[in-house]
Amino acid sequence: MRNNKKISKSFIGFLITAVLIWFLITLSKEYMIVLSFPVKYNKIPQDKILQKKPTKEIDILVKSSGFNIISSRFSNKSIQLNASNLTKKSAHRYYFLTKSQENQIQKQLRSGVELQEIILDTIYLEIGSLISKKVPLIPNLEIYYHIGYDVSESVSIQPDSLIISGPEAQINKIDKINLELLKLEDVKSGFSEKVSILIPENIDGLKVSSEFTTVTGKVEKFTEGSLEIPFKVTNLPDGIDLTTLNKTVEVIFVVGLSNFNKIDKNLFEVVCDYNLTKDNNLGYLFPKVTAKTNFIKSFKVVPNKIDFLIQK
């Protein structure tokens, strides 16, 4: 036969009551224990700012009942530390002694919790000026144009710079800020794209004047043309008569269709510097082309060497 022994409800009740009494007696006793508290720093001068993250929490040896200790341990209350009276150690490094703030800290502890000792005796703060400066934005472009198309002017960024504010030690390290990649393919018309500014993420307290900029480009079809341009020889010594087989060169240029009819011979100047030929002991002249306008994308000269004869 199987004997089933049942525990009486009164015994279970007695056991629970005994445990509760023991628990209450235990918690009512006083203990010495180290508790950790998150800290915040106040009364930092308005024109100053923390350059680096300071100590986030402090350990405090306290004396109190078990009830208060448990309540304090599970509380999220922060200890406020006064940062108005600091001692300077170096350019941006300051410190204060926690012992000087024992009374203030005691007032912030739970009633019945007695401060015995602050484990960390000195707290260091990196403090500097709050400054602002203007830095350029650097584009990151991958733009592929349709065959025969290109920008008629340089791609523009608006705004092309950014005002940043923050801790002096960190701001001084920043001399430029990059933009997010802008990738466009088979482009054959003008574009205006909103692009994110890549704000540094590792600087506390950094403020920026904008998080976006606009990248704009004027795009049009380009064509090729050519003109016969007379050239001149400079720095020719007195008494030397120089004869060339041809009096002009062909300048081949690439320009946007909208500006094609604006091109004439007066926009180009071709010069052959005789000193260049003489100094390098060359048997030919080297024609150099100068364009008097900025809407010509590219140009070249044919021929790129000019033979000559000297008659004295």
Alpha-carbon gap, residue 167 to 268, rounded angstroms: 53
Tell me if 238 sits within 8 A of 279, measured CB to CB. Answer: no
Q: Quick one: which of 284, 157, 251, 260 has its CA closest to 212?
A: 157
Stretch 112-136: mean pLDDT, rounded? 88
Alpha-carbon gap, residue 198 to 236, rounded angstroms: 57
Task: Evaluate if residue 9 carries a pLDDT over 70.
Answer: no
Which of 48-52, 259-263, 281-285 is predicted with the least confidence, judged by mean pLDDT? 48-52
- Hey, which of 5-19, 31-45, 176-190 has the most confident mean pLDDT? 176-190
Task: Evaluate if residue 98 carries a pLDDT over 50.
Answer: yes
Length reported for the chain: 312
Backbone dihedral angles phi then psi of residue 208, each to the nearest 5 degrees: -125, 155
Alpha-carbon gap, residue 265 to 267, rounded angstroms: 5
**Per-residue pLDDT, 312:** 62
Q: What integer best gives the mean pLDDT of the chain?
A: 86
pLDDT in tens, 180-239: 999 999 999 999 999 999 998 877 778 898 999 999 999 999 999 999 999 999 998 888
Alpha-carbon gap, residue 290 to 296, rounded angstroms: 11
17: tokens are 């009551």
Confidence tier at 292 by pLDDT (50, 70, 90): confident
Q: Which domains occur in the chain, in start order?
A: 28-128 (2.170.120), 130-220 (2.170.120.40), 222-311 (2.170.120.30)
Buried b (16+ CB within 10 A) or exposed e, 282-310: eeebbbebebeeeebbebebeeeebeeee
45: tokens are 């001068």
Q: Which amino acid is it at 11?
A: F
Alpha-carbon gap, residue 29 to 154, rounded angstroms: 79
Stretch 277-298: mean pLDDT, rounded? 89
Stretch 247-274: mean pLDDT, rounded? 93
**Per-residue pLDDT, 153:** 85
**Per-residue pLDDT, 2:** 46
**Count of C-beta atoms within a 10 Å radius of residue 92:** 18
Which of 46-60, 94-108, 184-198 is predicted with the least confidence, judged by mean pLDDT? 46-60
Q: Quick one: which of 217, 309, 235 has its CA closest to 272?
A: 235
Task: Evaluate if residue 126 carries a pLDDT over 90.
Answer: no
Which of 36-45, 212-221, 268-277 is predicted with the least confidence, judged by mean pLDDT? 36-45
Judged by DSSP in three states, 100 sits in: helix
Task: Evaluate if residue 1 carries a pLDDT over 50.
Answer: no
**Per-residue pLDDT, 147:** 93
Stretch 35-53: mean pLDDT, rounded? 83
Tell me if 306 sits within 8 A of 233, measured CB to CB. Answer: no
Stretch 72-82: mean pLDDT, rounded? 82
Task: Evaluate if residue 4 carries a pLDDT over 50.
Answer: no
The contacts of residue 202 (CB under 8 Å, 6+ apart) are: none
The contacts of residue 107 (CB under 8 Å, 6+ apart) are: none
Query: What is this structure's pTM?
Result: 0.60
Task: Evaluate if residue 28 carries a pLDDT over 70.
Answer: no
Alpha-carbon gap, residue 273 to 306, rounded angstroms: 12
155: tokens are 């791609």
HSE of 261 in the Cβ direction (CA atoms, 13 Å)? 1
